[in-house]
Structure 1
Amino acid sequence: MTDLPSIIANALGAIAAVGIAGSAAAQPASEPVKNVVLVHGAFADGSGWRGVYDELTGRGYRVTVVQNPLTSLADDVAATNRVLDRQDGPAVLVGHSWGGTVITEAGVHPRVASLVYVSALAPDAGETTAQQYVGHPAATEFVLDTRPDGFGFIDENAFKTAFAADTSDADAAFMRDAQVPIAMSAFGETLTNAAWRARPSWAVIATEDKAFGEGMLHTMARRIGARITEVRASHALFMTQPKVIADVIDEAARHGAPGKK
């Protein structure tokens, strides 16, 4: 008969072996990147990534879409990390607009091989998102309606021009009426990480984007050393330019590597 101490010792040894294997799996230095995690921005939800999702899954990628609560930077980073924890290998982490701040903070996760910024914000560690707007012309057509509880929407009358000028009137109306408000205080939260300092980065910039002042997107993309692709589109390029974005993500998957810049 096997005694109880032996049973416990064997069980602990098995657990330790699993732990070591799991740790090794969390550092996929040479694995091909077949996972993509998509992070939406403010005033939207993850369903806007459907076209990009279809493009990438058609190319054989495993794609997961984060649903940000938009209640704080910390909450959105936590939502993103929960998705990254579930990946079975290295992943490209993609963020649109406010999602760029989220992937900058969350992108130090060991599963992240590379970053793609889609008309997205890219602060540095120790900075806030709000600081990125300083020194650039105001985006006068991007009119916000901030409510007494501190959550902001895009003004209904300005929505199509500001956010979705290259969509149909029907699609723009649906997006306007399905807005997800963001806690405006999130823009004042300080980042502790700047994943772009340790991960190779790509940027897709919409040339007709009305959410940012002239030159702002290019300034951020150049600072982080991103490979830049321009496309004629509105701020809703994550919906209207799925092939262009999927092509850039595909490149980031083929050339990204955890911990390398």
Structure 2
Amino acid sequence: MQVTRTLRVALSAIAALSAAASLTAHAAPPPAHPTPVKNVVLVHGLYADGSSWEKVIPLLQAKGLHVTSVQNPTTSLDADVDAVKRALAQQDGPAVLVGHSYAGMVITQAGDDPKVSGLVYIAARAPDAGEDYPALTRKFPAAPASAGLQWFDGYGKLSEQAFVSDFAGDLPPREALAYYAVQQPMGKAITMAKTTVAAWRDKPTWYAVSTEDRTINPDLERFMAKRMQAHTIELPSSHVSLISHPQEVANLILDAAGQSHN
């Protein structure tokens, strides 16, 4: 019996070491001095639309960058990836691809496009190829916003209370309600989607953790950022740091684009 327990402990230790090794295998750390690029493609997450980038866009444009905010349909992962690929096809050169929240899955899949020079994750999902993201989230305490998800005819939205308090909790209530009004429903297919590639294994990555996030557990964000060997910053923000901390988010994107933000 003692031998069996000892063997079990040893096997568990080997498995843990193997898992830890797999976290960093083949991931691409961000270069110290990225090659400057002029194109940035922004991808919004669930419960939002392209207007969620409205504070970041002018900050990037003021630095001379060409910015595209994709209006992905959030009906399925494939449809959203197709929307991003169409936007990338219209860029006249290399582009930094940026995703917020669920859009991290989208850019992880679409980011294998040869035009993509780097990936920026803003409080975003960053699954590995074929990874069950819902199962990954269950390894961490549940984020409160998930309790406010409501379904109608196969499409999900956050309740007003969950949106204002848990999704956009550090915005003034009137501002949060304005974004709630443009909330885009989520197709049921997204809840079962898995990426087939993980572009972050080959492309340099940047990550902004939201330390007060109530939509994705901040420790889950830290885990995904570390696994990608991403250049990581932490912002004292709700899930919508792109709205409440637009300058810091813009600066991270400028870093990825090899542009000065001084």
Q: How does 1:1-261 map to 2 (within 5 A)?
A: 32-254=36-258
C-alpha contact (below 8 Å) 2:206/2:256 kept by paired residues: yes
Alpha-carbon separation, structure 1, partners of 2:193 and 2:108: 13
- The letter of the residue matching 1:87 is Q
Q: Which amino acid aligns with 1:194?
A: A
TM superposition score normalised by structure 1: 0.83
2:23 corresponding residue in structure 1: none
Deviation at 1:149, TM superposition (A): 2.0
Separation in 1, partners of 2:166, 2:173: 13
Deviations 1:12-38 (A, max 9, x none): xxxxxxxxxxxxxxxxxx973110000
CA distance in 2, matches of 1:232, 1:145: 24
Give aligned pairs, total: 226
Contact 2:145–2:214 (CA<8 Å) still a contact in 1? yes
- Amino acid in structure 2 at the alignment position of 1:157: Q
3-state DSSP class of the match of 2:98?
strand
Deviates more, 1:90-99 or 1:123-132: 123-132
Q: Is the 8 A contact 1:153 1:180 kept in 2?
A: yes
- Higher Rg: 1
How many Å separate the matches in 2 of 1:43 and 1:232? Answer: 21
Q: CA deviation at 1:145?
A: 3.1
TM (normalized to structure 2)?
0.82
Structure 2 unaligned spans of 5+: 1-33
**Equivalent AA in structure 2 for residue 200 of structure 1:** P
Identity among equivalent pairs (%): 43
Deviations 1:180-211 (A, max 9, x none): 11113213112111000010000011111100
Which consecutive aligned stretches of 4+ in structure 1 deviate over 6 angstroms post-superposition? Answer: none
1:142 Cα deviation (Å)? 3.8
Which ranges of structure 1 fall in alignment gaps of 5 or more residues?
1-29, 256-261
**Alignment RMSD (CA, Å):** 1.6
Deviation at 1:144, TM superposition (A): 3.0
Q: Deviations over 1:116-165 (max 9, x none)?
A: 00000000111133233121111134433332422111112222111111
- Cα distance in 1 for partners of 2:40, 2:225 equals 20
